[in-house]
Chains A and B, each alone.
Chain A
Amino acid sequence: MGMQNQTQKSAESATTLGGYGEIGYNAYLRQSDLNRADAKRFSISMGHRFNDQWSAYSEMEWEHAVASAEDVGETEIEQMYLNYQVSENVNARAGLILIPSGLLNLTHEPPLFSGVERNFVETRIIPTTWREGGLAASGATESGWAWDIGLVTGFDLAKLDDAASPLAGSHQELSLAHAEDFSMYAALNYRGLPGLTAGASLFAGKTMQGNADHNADPAAPDFSGIDGALRLSEAHACWQSGGWTLQGLGALGILHEAGKMDVIRSAATPAGEEAVLAPSAFYGWYLMAGRAFRFRANQGNLSVTPFARYEQFDAQLKMPDGFAADPALADRVATAGFSVAPHPQIVVKADYQRFLDHPHADRIDLGLGFMY
């Protein structure tokens, strides 16, 4: 197909189809019984442009290959929104939208990040892939500033089921989400130089949803009188130039009234079981460097990108008075590996992850991914 036809045809259709896939293998060096091979994610996205102002976008995803009552897999809608172009520089959205927090949440396709696994900070602290339902607006200036604001559903800490990921363990994902307490977010990024993203975001809102779980089921713990205000702030920078990628991110979550929640949660937990406790503060940060070496081969750009990343996180950085932090929920992880991309939308990855505080978790990861 000639270049003219190729460019023309790609712009003609009002409906577009996309997607990505990700398969991984984790080999634990000291606990081989934990070794896993997994079709981690397969996603299909569809967009449709109704006219010059209105469009719709949706993304469906399957995790872990099989979703059934007996399996851990999930079928989920990750994005589903209507977009209205207010002006050349401003868009408004309504529906199920991704939260612009961190570097990974908006661009989580496997060829776009280093490492077989997503980094721990942007999974345990920032709950990638993080989406909420609500209204949002975004825009960019010609000088390279991009802004996002939104009023969206928030977390339900009454449902907290994973102390290792306080937000991923209490997210609602717009699945019959309790919506008494809405949250707000704002993000500002500078992308005025090719290859550069530097910015920050703040997400804030109450998290007890009017004690809705107890009101619906009196057997559930009673959190009445608790708001559980949450603030998640993060700052990030990514610079890609001359084949180099330098990237860093820091995130801090602060949860108010965690002590009151934990007292109630502990009292409601049956004897002999361990209560899932909410932290007063949780945090994480990482630095990453990589260098892409490009070769002309295979009718395209073959690139080989070695990288190294160091990250540190603590899901219970600060616990309420009277509660002790679980050291198993904090770690420092060094990762080194490489990606091979025979095409910009295809990647094969391998890395070694060393868990400095929990060496029994050291592992080698292998993976492949694609997007289209």
Chain B
Amino acid sequence: MPCPHWASGVNGRFACHLSGPVLYFPTKFMRSPTSPYPLSMRRAAALGLALACVLIFPGCSMSKYIPAPTERDVAVAGRLGLATSLETLALGRKLYVRRCSSCHSLRKPTQLLPLEWPEMVKRMATNANLKPDQQLAITHYLVAISASLRENAGGDSGSDSPK
């Protein structure tokens, strides 16, 4: 059932005038045979959605890749010469998930070496309006978890920091 307010838009078929403002309904476009989105674009979107369903959702979870810290992670950090606590690491994880994801997708801690995280966090700290203790907590969490997961995987902790 077409919208009763359907009126001529840019090409006469995809604008809906309601009390003056022009409103658009992208989902309607995608279903409509008269959609302004070219067929190739709709096909690409459908392909992308299918890929997402197949590749993204099965077996994924935040806690798997951004794990909650444990006392073992505190010990691993200690072996790198980083004095921290379980509370700091837990705060760091919470802030990492909440604050960093407001601008970009979250990286797995193992995506960078432990030594590379302080510089990366520092780069974005002001843009994310992090207080010094918050920046420190996020850095401690990422350094500790990156090192800990690397150890779990059978490698060394990935740091050449003096012990």
* Cβ-closest 5 pairs across A and B: A47-B126, A140-B102, A248-B48, A10-B122, A191-B101
**Is the pair B98, A239 in contact by a Cβ cutoff of 8 Å?**
no
Question: Which B residues are within 8 Å of any A CB, using their own CB?
Answer: 9-11, 14-15, 22, 24, 26, 36-38, 40-41, 44-45, 47-48, 51-52, 55-56, 60-62, 65-66, 77, 80-83, 94, 97-99, 101-108, 112-116, 118-123, 125-127, 129, 131-133, 135-136, 139-140, 143, 159-162
Nearest chain A residue, comparing its CB with the CB of B116: A344
Which secondary structure dominates where chain A touches chain B?
A: strand
Q: A213–B162 Cα gap in the complex (Å)? A: 64
Looking at the complex, which one of B52, B66, B119 makes contact with A239 (CB distance below 8 Å)? Answer: B52
Q: A7–B135 Cα gap in the complex (Å)? A: 9
Looking at the complex, which one of B38, B105, B112, B121 makes contact with A195 (CB distance below 8 Å)? Answer: B105
Nearest chain A residue, comparing its CB with the CB of B160: A299
Is there a chain B Cβ closer than 8 Å to A160's Cβ? Answer: no
**Is the pair A191, B106 in contact by a Cβ cutoff of 8 Å?**
yes
**Is the pair A287, B48 in contact by a Cβ cutoff of 8 Å?**
yes
Contact-residue bracket for chain A? 35 or more
Q: Give chain A residues whose Cβ lies under 8 Å from the Cβ of B36.
A: 252, 254, 281, 317-318
Is there a chain B Cβ closer than 8 Å to A240's Cβ? Answer: yes
**Is the pair B37, A250 in contact by a Cβ cutoff of 8 Å?**
yes
Q: A193–B97 Cα gap in the complex (Å)? A: 10
Q: Give chain B residues whose Cβ lies under 8 Å from the Cβ of A146.
A: 101-103
Q: A196–B14 Cα gap in the complex (Å)? A: 31
Is there a chain B Cβ closer than 8 Å to A237's Cβ? Answer: yes
Q: Give chain A residues whose Cβ lies under 8 Å from the Cβ of B52.
A: 198, 237, 239
**Is the pair A194, B10 in contact by a Cβ cutoff of 8 Å?**
no
Looking at the complex, which one of B44, B61, B99 makes contact with A285 (CB distance below 8 Å)? Answer: B44
**Is the pair B143, A12 in contact by a Cβ cutoff of 8 Å?**
no
Q: What is the distance, in angstroms, from A123's C-beta to the closest C-beta of chain B? A: 18
Q: A287–B41 Cα gap in the complex (Å)? A: 10
Q: What is the distance, in angstroms, from A126's C-beta to the closest C-beta of chain B? A: 14
Q: What is the distance, in angstroms, from B57's C-beta to the closest C-beta of chain A? A: 8
Known: A144-B62, A241-B56, A318-B11; 15 extra A-B contacts, CB below 8 A, are A10-B118, A11-B122, A47-B127, A48-B126, A142-B98, A191-B101, A194-B66, A194-B107, A195-B65, A233-B26, A237-B52, A241-B55, A250-B44, A281-B10, A287-B44
Nearest chain A residue, comparing its CB with the CB of B106: A194
Stretch at the interface among A35-43, A49-57, A167-175: A49-57
Complex interface residues of chain A between 193 and 209 (CB less than 8 A to chain B): 193-198, 200
**Is the pair A140, B101 in contact by a Cβ cutoff of 8 Å?**
yes
Looking at the complex, which one of B11, B41, B99, B140 makes contact with A312 (CB distance below 8 Å)? Answer: B41
**Is the pair B116, A300 in contact by a Cβ cutoff of 8 Å?**
yes
Known: A193-B60, A194-B65. A106 touches B123 (CB 8 A): no
